[in-house]
Every structure is written in C-alpha cells, then in structure tokens.
Amino acid sequence: MTEAAIPGVVGSGTTAVAAVGAGAPAERANGAEREPLVGITDLVKYYPIHGGVMRRHVGDVRAVDGVTFDVKAGEILGLVGESGCGKSTLGKTLLQLLPATSGSVTLRGESVLDKKGNDLKRLRRKMQIVFQDPVSSLNPRMPVSDIIGEGLIAQADKENHWGDATVREKRVGDYLETVGLRRDYARRFPHEFSGGQRQRIGIARALVLEPDFIVCDEPVSALDVSIQSQILNLLLDLRRDFGLTYLFVAHNLSVVQYLSDRVGVMYLGKMVELGPVDQIYSAPKHPYTVALLSAGPVPDPRRRSKRLVLKGDVPSPAAPPSGCRFHTRCWLREQLGEPEECHTIEPEFRDLGDGHLVACHFSDKIGGETLKDAVASQEAFAPADAIDDDGETEDAELIAEANAHNIKA
C-alpha cells in the first residue's frame, strides 16, 4: 500500500505518526465477483415539519431522498459527505432503527422494511450497528456483562440456549477477548473504561449475535488518534475472521480510503458518486467529490496545496434546489457557463464503467483544464503563502493527477 492510502491525518487536522500501523489492510474485496448482501432501492426518509396553531403538516426535511445502491458480501463500503447530508440517517433507516418513508431494503434477498414483530427480531440478529459515541451508547447503570448479554437474552431460544446464564456468561467473555479485553471486565461498569475500551465493548455487543452486516456509524470520530488506529485495525481483523460486511460512515477521508473497498459520496440526501476506492480518490467524476477531496490536508510540509472552496452554504434539506442539488455551489457549472440542465433536470445516477456511478450531467468535463481554471479563479482569495514563488500554477496534467487529498496549485 502506498503512503497516501494510510491515514496520516485524523480528526481536526492532527497529524498522526504511523496512524494505522505498518501493515496494510486486508486485501480489498473484488466487487465484480461478489453477490450483493444488502440491497437498497429508492430509500426515502423524511421528517415531517408541523406548523401553525393546529400543527398541520407544512413540509418535510428530506434527510434521505431516493438512494439506491448495493453492499456486496464481505466488502467495506465507506460513506462520506458533509455533516447533515444523511449518512447516519441512511444507516439507521436501513436497519429499521428509524422507520423509512418509502423504498426497499433487502438482506440476502429478504425484505427488511416489511418485517415486524418476531420476524424483525429474527432478522436483527443478522444486522447490527456500532454507534458513534462510546459513552452515550452504553447504559451507565448496567455492567458490561448485561450490556453485551442483553441481545442474547432477547434472541434466546431452545436451540442456542442463550437464556442460560452460564452459556451467556461464557459467550460474553469469549467476545470480550475477541475485541482485546479481559474476561473479568464483564463485571465492571462503563465509567471504569477509557473511550477506546468502551468502543470495543460496543463492537463486542454487535458481534455477539453473529451478524452478517454491521453499520459502523462514525465509530472512531470520538477517539484520539492512536486509539483510532487500533479500532480500525480491529475492524479489519474481525472482517477477516468472521466474514463481516460493513457500511462504514465517516467524515475522515483518509480513514475511509484506508479501510474501504468502495466509497459512496452523499450530498443533501442524495448519493452523488459511488465506485471503487482507488477510482474515487484518483479520478473523481463529480464536482462535489473533487472539492471534498481537495479539502483533505496532506501531512507533508514540503507540498504546496490549494483547495477548491465552495461558494455559499449547504441548502436546506427542507427546500432542496431543483435539478442537481449541488448546482447552487458547483464550480464546474460556473466554468461551463451555467448550463440550464443543472438547475432544471435532476441528473441520472449512471454507470461510467467498472462500477463507477455518478450523478452529474457533465462528469466527462472534469479534467485538467477545468480544474486549472477553477483553482485559478479562486487564486485572488488564496493566502499568499499558498501560491508558488513564481506565482504560476502547475500545468493541467499535474492538476489532473493530483493526490486524492489535494489539488496542486
């Protein structure tokens, strides 16, 4: 693995020394040879807005709006985007932790959203979640044995004997050891552990039911740099040992690049780009993805870099723009003379080949010249020390081949 694929910058600009360890992650899954484990089709999650004296329904917050993709068996699908774009809502909705407004979700071809009662309870054994905050996700009044064993009690039957305290205690201890904790920790309470240890307990709670699919909802964002690397490598080891499939939600682009086989990019409730991690990071085809990757800092003081700064604020999900939702901030639209299609026609989520999908009318226009023009148009607003000594930008070929974390100026 190249140096660029190992996250050297984690959190808010803090540089980590050997952030994820010397070893490369598990071999990336070959998506072309794997069957879909989870299928999501036109998934919609709206939050109603009520107003007036009678509290009438006056609108909706469109948190997730018509998202379609598959998660293949054994892969790690990374999901990135700005805060509020719908990443966590998507993960919780497909697990039925939040009720979906419409759409369908399948697990091994079996519908998830139609399940209720005992049928849903049975299906939950195969789908679990690791939450973002390792403090609030654990009940402070319960010992670790009860936190991890709670799911076992709920899923106990005559075949697994999880209702037997002896069987349950042994299983809890086994999974504590699996995540790197001692068996006797089962008698302790959450406040007696560090943040990283609490997150390991959360992972053990998800693993104990032997799921096939786990949603990791920003599982390392609340941890310090050195602990992040330990948790990431633990997740990779668990995928190898248990054949797990992850939907990994994160803000940190370097972490997603290191961990994922494929990457999906969300903006304002929509999936705008999806593809193999190497293609997304080396040759992004959506203008939002290009700007997002350019914002990632590079842990090398010798490299001069400049980002594409998006204009304006993210529109309200209660009143998203017509056509392409990114058109109000799109640097590519500005470079192309503001074509009408961008604000009148919603772009199709189309396949460019090799499983690389993008929702942009003009994705074929993204290249060296358009990037060079976009960066040059912002040069007047860049700090002086971000410009090369001779005041000139590098040629279009270097810009087109820019590192996934920046756009060279």
> Could you state, in order of their start, the residue ranges of all structural domains in the chain?
3-50+58-267, 283-408
Residue 134 in 3-state DSSP? coil
Continuous segment of H or E residues that includes residue 262 = strand 262-267
Pair 259, 236: CB distance under 8 Å:
yes
For position 34, what pLDDT does the model report?
80
- 225: confidence class by pLDDT, cuts 50, 70, 90: confident
User: What one-character DSSP code corresponds to residue 378?
Assistant: T
Q: For 39-91, write each residue's pLDDT tens digit.
A: 999 999 999 999 988 899 999 999 999 999 999 999 999 999 999 999 999 99
Q: What is residue 308's predicted lDDT score, i.e. its pLDDT?
A: 82
Residues in the chain: 409
Mean pLDDT of 253-272: 95
d(CA 335, CA 306): 18
CATH topology of domain 3-50+58-267: Rossmann fold (3.40.50)
Question: CA–CA distance from 158 to each of 145, 152, 153 (Å)?
Answer: 21, 12, 12
What's the pLDDT band for 373 if we cut at 50, 70, 90?
low
Take residue 187 and report the two structure tokens written for it. 């008698």
Q: List the 56-72 sheet strands across, edge first.
A: 56-72, 36-51, 102-107, 110-111
Compute CA 398 distance to the chain's CA centroid, rounded to the nearest angstrom. Answer: 29
Query: Which pTM value belongs to this model?
Result: 0.84
The whole-angstrom separation of Cα 345 and Cα 361 is 9
Q: Are 363 and 352 in contact (CB under 8 A)?
A: yes
Which amino acid does the sequence have at 293? L
Taking residues 277-295, what's their average pLDDT?
92
For residue 43, the one-letter residue type is L
